[in-house]
Structure 1
């Protein structure tokens, strides 16, 4: 009987055979591609989450969740000193490698993650990836942010501190969100020191929705930075589709505030010396290299970064002091001793005194170690010669970075109790090693230029605040929340302030 290819049975057989062949070919092709990708994968031997091997989706997911700081600690605990976090990116926790990446003279430049922060701005100290350009630009303003340069502004910081303490007195024994109020304080300080005017946040008790724009920029940049090409596609399409990425707030709203102040300064002089005066003086001396755009860039950067980092640090230190009251009591002994000696007062804490209060500074260092403001990797591009990490060769072009939350919990550096708050570790021996791996303000030539200003604010506020108030948790059982969108913000830090009796 001849074979009838048109019969239903034959057609069904051919269809089944065709489906089988398509499926087989598809699986075979996928296996070949998988084999090629694995064989040619420069990071094939580096352990990490499964999905991180194939796309930046893993990084985007955790950037959006805001848990990168805690997630990276767990990954390094699981996989060791080197963890794969993307197709061409690794997280490093090995001290020797960290020194090579961030140490003096390192040839590891910032990755494209920073390009979404800079956008089209030509002058941007934080995001500038060219080391020589950054070095040149930083020299223009270094002296303004130095301790000697900031000394001129200390009396005006005292004015804001006085207003802040007076405002808090109206909320005596009340439950207040100290994380939020610390940011109101830091924001008004930046306004006073940069533009000779507070923003009025302390008096009104509200940020007038300014923080929403900053938080939006931080959250947006933290995930868009994982796929920087998306930012530039959006930038190209923006004239037709509009702006849909909040990271542009950094170059939008805050820049507009700065532009307004710069414009007014030409006709309305400042009431006292401020940082804008200093920026404009640099411009007058170097009009070509430090133009008006640079003046606005530095002013806007003060607003954007100057409030969040300091407020986060103040909140973290107070949180740990309340959580570990034995250290708060020890700190109070030092504060009361300085007050009894007439060196500090309830509204007066000269930095020349507080910077030499050893236990105060130990508490500040430890608070910043346990809760550094930055909670994501500070990514750098491996130079052509590559990088060796515990016998693993990382080729040039790969992005490698260190997360401050990870390195700050390294037991080889900070001791077996690195997971807990213990200020006395900064008074023990071998402090130089701890300082070498202290990443609260970055490291190397890219250390945050506002470091001295932040420490100045914190060192003056804490003694006055603790001298005036006994501070404790409003609800000892309540849990704070942490959101890591580059900066690790503390939410629901509700504290109770009880005014102390006159000593």
Structure 2
């Protein structure tokens, strides 16, 4: 008699599923525990959060929550100078480390963090290849020489003037209404002040300035009092239109919000291992960020296409980028040109608006500092009744410079430690040797609060410390534009903008906070951004 063996497919499935589950701990050990035990980058003895020693998930989660710099700072307060924030990433809270990790000629490279910021093609900011970076920097850096930057001053002053005109108009309009009632653009109180959120206005100002300089025309945000810019639906069609009358479809997007979303997405994606990123992109929050990356690239494509279709002899960033040649005499291709223009848009808008907003907040919070600054401005500008300062008038005002630097220190728009890969031969930081391939970073937020440099009250906004603290220590520690060969090429332009913006606005208006007890709320992607700055403004009599 033959025996018939009947197989149960559900049994087979149960066996396979159980076997797979049993393999999960083995996979976890191989992927996370074994590298920790092998310790290829000699980091096991470095303290830090337990999960961070085994997985990039800790830093990924912290970055996605929007307060990475504050969290890492707390870790340094707890553990000391060295903190392990990922299986192969050590944060070093030591000003001297800037000279080691980011120094010229040390051979260190940008980590794969920067890959998450690539959209059209690699630009100066996210290029990791040393030779390619040197080529791009040679083309771009001369554009931001002090001589060239001064050619952009009329453009900057034009839009600062537009902002002041808008605030004057809102102030006059509100003043005509009954006190304690809401008027156009703000609330006019019984104390004779117009109350508004200054952050959107600083965003409009920064976008219009950089839109004019990078693309040849402003986005019109100040005059329209609206966050809106055209984006190409199809980047391919817009690229085809360069230099021709070809048409392509555009839609209006809230550019400031898109830029915020893109920054948060790329900064949180960048700290995750490359092999995780395709899967993580499927999560809802990351899908939104991916769309923001595409829209922001489409904005640059549309703006450059528009400019190249209607040639002009005006002098701006785009015209100088078009003229730039590498060592072989070659001009940039259209995609590279657009990618670099997008880099300038991102770098030149967020930083300026965030810093202007932070400076306004801290001056409103500290009336004595505001009064000292306004006295210096009144004395320097005298009877000049033009509402917008010139760079020549304000470039050497010591208290104005101290106010701006102190806000850049306390707020630290660029706060996170920018990761670098240790080169062949390794690096020694504070006596600790790190082998080739280790990833190191120096967090600006934390070194800007080093009590040995800044005194016992580093969290306080106090411009006077710039006249009291050791100048050499300050020069070594203050890091608003990064350090070394990968430092911000637009530093001269940013400095000129802030000097003109802050001197003009503070000479014309007096500021108070709407809610003095409310903390200055920020959220961090790649940059640390204010969420709002509600102030009451009153026109001054000078």
Q: Shorter chain as normaliser: what TM range?
A: 0.7 to 0.9
Cross-structure match for 2:536:
496
Question: Could you say if the C-alpha distance between residues 54 and 345 of structure 1 is closer, same or farther in structure 2, counting changes exceeding 3 Å?
Answer: farther
Cα distance in 2, alignment partners of residues 339 and 295 from structure 1 = 40
How far did residue 164 of structure 1 move?
Answer: 0.8
Q: Is the 8 A contact 1:194 1:275 kept in 2?
A: yes
> SS state of the match for residue 170, structure 2?
coil
Question: Could you say if the C-alpha distance between residues 34 and 450 of structure 1 is closer, same or farther in structure 2, counting changes exceeding 3 Å?
Answer: closer
Cα distance in 2, alignment partners of residues 264 and 95 from structure 1 = 45
Cα distance in 2, alignment partners of residues 47 and 289 from structure 1 = 49
Cross-structure match for 2:440:
400
Cross-structure match for 1:278:
320
How far did residue 328 of structure 1 move?
Answer: 1.3
Q: Is the 8 A contact 2:55 2:86 kept in 1?
A: yes
How far did residue 371 of structure 1 move?
Answer: 1.0
Cross-structure match for 1:71:
71
Is structure 2 residue 94 aligned with structure 1 residue 103? Answer: no
Cα distance in 1, alignment partners of residues 131 and 265 from structure 2 = 28
Q: Is the 8 A contact 1:381 1:396 kept in 2?
A: yes
Cross-structure match for 1:438:
478
Question: Could you say if the C-alpha distance between residues 231 and 148 of structure 1 is closer, same or farther in structure 2, counting changes exceeding 3 Å?
Answer: farther
Cross-structure match for 2:287:
244
Q: How does 1:308-347 map to 2 (within 5 A)?
A: 308-340=350-382, 342=383, 345-347=385-387
> SS state of the match for residue 52, structure 1?
helix
Cα distance in 1, alignment partners of residues 26 and 527 from structure 2 = 45
Provide structure 2 residue ranges, at least 5 long, that are not aligned to the other structure.
1-21, 172-192, 229-253
Query: Following superposition, which runs of at least 4 residues in structure 1 exceed 6 angstroms of deviation?
Result: 26-35, 284-287
Cross-structure match for 2:348:
306
CA displacement, residues 465-498 of structure 1 (integer Å, 9 cap, x when unaligned)? 1111111112222333110111111112101111
Cross-structure match for 2:168:
169
Cα distance in 2, alignment partners of residues 448 and 246 from structure 1 = 25
Cross-structure match for 1:226:
271
CA displacement, residues 329-376 of structure 1 (integer Å, 9 cap, x when unaligned)? 111110110122x4x544231112211111101111111011111232
Is structure 2 residue 377 aligned with structure 1 residue 357? Answer: no
Cα distance in 2, alignment partners of residues 355 and 286 from structure 1 = 38
Cα distance in 1, alignment partners of residues 25 and 272 from structure 2 = 29
Question: Could you say if the C-alpha distance between residues 391 and 290 of structure 1 is closer, same or farther in structure 2, counting changes exceeding 3 Å?
Answer: same
Cα distance in 1, alignment partners of residues 379 and 493 from structure 2 = 26
Question: Could you say if the C-alpha distance between residues 248 and 393 of structure 1 is closer, same or farther in structure 2, counting changes exceeding 3 Å?
Answer: farther
* Candidates 192, 197, 202, aligned match of 1:182: 202
Q: Is the 8 A contact 2:58 2:85 kept in 1?
A: yes
* Candidates 6, 22, 38, aligned match of 1:40: 38
Cα distance in 1, alignment partners of residues 50 and 354 from structure 2 = 33
How far did residue 92 of structure 1 move?
Answer: 0.4
> SS state of the match for residue 456, structure 2?
coil
Is structure 2 residue 424 aligned with structure 1 residue 384? Answer: yes
How far did residue 248 of structure 1 move?
Answer: 6.3
Cα distance in 2, alignment partners of residues 226 and 422 from structure 1 = 34
CA RMSD of aligned residues (A): 3.0
Question: Could you say if the C-alpha distance between residues 203 and 258 of structure 1 is closer, same or farther in structure 2, counting changes exceeding 3 Å?
Answer: same
How far did residue 170 of structure 1 move?
Answer: 2.5
Cα distance in 2, alignment partners of residues 309 and 28 from structure 1 = 46
Cα distance in 2, alignment partners of residues 199 and 289 from structure 1 = 27
Cross-structure match for 1:203:
223
How far did residue 271 of structure 1 move?
Answer: 7.3
Provide structure 1 residue ranges, at least 5 long, that are not aligned to the other structure.
1-22
CA displacement, residues 263-314 of structure 1 (integer Å, 9 cap, x when unaligned)? 3334423373222111112269977452222211121112222111111111
* Candidates 297, 305, 318, aligned match of 1:263: 305
Cross-structure match for 1:293:
335
Which shows bigger deviation, 40-49 or 472-481?
A: 472-481
Question: Could you say if the C-alpha distance between residues 395 and 248 of structure 1 is closer, same or farther in structure 2, counting changes exceeding 3 Å?
Answer: farther
CA displacement, residues 193-248 of structure 1 (integer Å, 9 cap, x when unaligned)? 2233211111121112112211111111111111241476469x99xx9x936256
Cross-structure match for 1:427:
467
Cα distance in 2, alignment partners of residues 211 and 68 from structure 1 = 21
CA displacement, residues 5-24 of structure 1 (integer Å, 9 cap, x when unaligned)? xxxxxxxxxxxxxxxxxx9x
TM-score (norm 2): 0.80
Q: Is the 8 A contact 1:116 1:221 kept in 2?
A: yes
How far did residue 116 of structure 1 move?
Answer: 1.2
Question: Could you say if the C-alpha distance between residues 345 and 442 of structure 1 is closer, same or farther in structure 2, counting changes exceeding 3 Å?
Answer: farther
Cα distance in 2, alignment partners of residues 350 and 457 from structure 1 = 10
Cα distance in 1, alignment partners of residues 366 and 87 from structure 2 = 42
Which shows bigger deviation, 79-88 or 28-37?
A: 28-37
Q: Is the 8 A contact 1:346 1:467 kept in 2?
A: no
Cross-structure match for 1:192:
212
